[in-house]
Structure formats: structure tokens, C-alpha cells
Amino acid sequence: MATIGSMKRAYTDQFGHATASADRAICIWLLLVAALVFAMVVVGGATRLTGSGLSITEWQPLLGTLPPLSDAAWQDAFRKYQQIPQYTILNKGMSLDAFKGIYWWEWSHRLLGRFLGAAFAIPFLFFLIRGHVRRGLAWKLGGLFVLGGLQGALGWFMVKSGLSERTEVSQYRLSAHLLLASALLAALLWTAFDVGADAQRRRIRLRTLPAGNKLLGMTILALIFVQIGAGALVAGLKAGLAYNTWPLMDGHVLPSGLAAMHPWWANLFENAATVQFDHRIAAYLLAGLVGWQTVRVFPVADDERVRRSVVALAASVSWQIVLGIWTLVSQVPFYLALSHQATAMLVLTAAVWHVHTLTRH
């Protein structure tokens, strides 16, 4: 006859195993949602580069799921686009077939956003109803869902900025939209890594790392967010087309006109020369800090995940800088520019992974 103690141990083992299995499933689901956010950023970048973001002039969360299904519906959508400045100033005389080309990019971007919401909400409710989500985790997942909804609303707020007085969206709103997408990706990854670590039932063991190593990792992560925002400003102002030489900017370390605007802070956000200059300087600073972090961490970390994460961070930052220079001197061709934006998300992913390995001990 089994003793009460052995029965209790068996129940605990069974419960623990069930919890670990649920955690693994939740971790995989969150990583898949993060991959969808990555895809959303890439499609959003293609939408911006093709000038497609203003082709749909209405926000219809439900009815907008279907594209125009008849010639009359296409003509109606085209007629609405013909009323905004982007058409009257930049694209006047555009054919219906050309309009369809930009429409499909924006429609795909919005459809992917709707699919992303469903891909999060439906499994979340399933895990919640089955009792697989711990209370603390439930609040975090709920917060992620709200963050995703805010991202959709911010996307429409961005589009509205280009429908009345401008021929493109505001660079401020574009930067905010990309930064919120980046924050959502980082939060999804961090939560997935947390849940995955819980499923493994073990914590990372490190030797004593150099003082300030965690702080340096967090500083790098913060600088990556700053650089992503600066990159969006470069894109929004088309500043990448202004100075297409490297390492100097048209033969100068400090090009003329860096402080041409008043008040002075407007140069940081509205002056194409200053915005590109700041983006370059931030890239150099990021490369130096990542190199320093790699030299400090790699020789002393006894956990392979820490080593792999810092190598992934160094490799992705190095490739991103190469891509950035290549894109610049080539005058921002479509595929290089899109690759540069996609690699920025890979850099962010590597940084989140690295900081998580350093703090999870």
C-alpha cells in the first residue's frame, strides 16, 4: 500500500510535469507570435518603401478584412485615394492597375495585423480556460494583448497624418509606430524566455561576471531602441538619400547644416542631415559597446547560452552596420533597405536574449 508521502510525491511530480508541458506550449506559442510581429515589421517596411501606406484611406477593423471584390468597389477605393495630397501632388495620373499594386501591400499589412491579433487571442483564451496560465503570467499576457491593440490604433493614427496636408506620414508617428512594434516584439520574447526557463525548472549559473555587466547589457538594449527610432526618422525624412558617401558625409566629418533649424531640438527630428548624422554616430557607439561587452563576457561565462547570446548580438550588429553602409552608398534600393529594417529586429532579438541570460540567475 502506498504511503501518504509517496502519493503526495507522485501527485507533485505529475502536477509539475503538467505545468512544465503547458509552459513549453506557451513558450512556443509566444515565439510564434513574436515571429508574426517580425513579419509584420518586414511587411510594414515594404509598405513604406513602395509608398503604399496611404492607399487605404479608411480604418474598418472588421469590414476592411475583405478587399474590393468588384470593379465598382475598386473604382470607389481609387476615388477615395485620388482625394488625398499624395495622389494630387505625387501620383496624379496613376492608373487603376498601379493603384492596385500599392493597395495590396497596405491591405496585406493590415490583414497580417488582424491575423496576428487572432493568433494571440485564441490560444490565450484556450490556455486560460484550460487553467494552464498562472495568475501572474495571465496579467502579463493580457498586457501584451492590450499592447498589440494599441499598436493597431497607433498605425491608423500614423496613416491619418498623411491624408490631409502631407504626401507622406509624419516621421514622428512613423517612429512611434515602429518603436511600439519593437517594444511588443521585445516583450513577447522576454515573456517567452521567462516561461521557457520555468519549463526547464532551472536557472542560469554564471561565474562572477565583471561589475556592471548587466548594466552594460541593458544600456545596449536601450541604445538599440534609440537607434530603431532614429532609423524610422531617417526613413520618414528620406534622409538616406541626402548623403550617400561613407565614412564621410560628402567629404566632411561634420556636414554643413547640422544646426540649421530653430529651435535647436528640431534638428534632431526634422533636419535630414542631422538625423542621418545621429543615426551614424549611434551605430558606431553601439558597435563599440557590443564589442566591449563581448570581450568582457565571453571569456568568463560558464553557461553556453550566455556565450551564444553575446556572439549572436555581436554578429547581428556587425552585419547590420555592413547592411546600413551598403544601403546608404547604393542610394537605398528596395531590397537592401528592407533587409536593413528586418535585421534591426534580429539585432533587437539578440539583445533581448542576451540581457535575459544575464539577468536570469
Instruction: Return the C-alpha cell found at 298.
Output: 565571453
The domain made up of 206-361 has a fold known as A middle domain of Talin 1 (1.20.1420)
Tens of pLDDT, residues 305-360 = 888 999 999 999 999 999 999 999 999 999 999 999 999 999 999 999 999 998 87
pLDDT in the model for residue 11 = 35
The Cα–Cα gap between 258 and 281 comes to: 13
Angle of CA points 92, 98, 99, to nearest 5°: 75
What are the residue boundaries of the structural domains of the chain, listed by start? Answer: 1-202, 206-361
pLDDT in the model for residue 359 = 84
Residue 65 has pLDDT above 50, yes or no: yes
Mean pLDDT of the chain: 90
Tens of pLDDT, residues 115-136 = 999 999 999 999 999 988 888 8
Tens of pLDDT, residues 175-210 = 999 999 999 999 999 999 999 876 565 444 545 566
The Cα–Cα gap between 182 and 189 comes to: 11
First to last CA, the chain: 42
Among 315, 312, 307, which Cα is nearest to 352's? 312
List 249's β-bridge partners, or say none: 252
Exposed e or buried b for every residue in 19-47, given b needs 16+ CB within 10 A? eeebbebbbebbbebbebbbebbbbbbbb
- Owner of C-alpha cell 538619400: 241
The proportion of the chain whose per-residue pLDDT surpasses 70, expressed as a percent, equals 91
The Cα–Cα gap between 330 and 339 comes to: 13
Q: Which has the higher per-residue pLDDT, 22 or 277?
A: 277
- Owner of C-alpha cell 501606406: 53
* Confidence (pTM): 0.91
Tens of pLDDT, residues 230-254 = 999 999 999 999 899 999 998 899 9
pLDDT in the model for residue 114 = 95
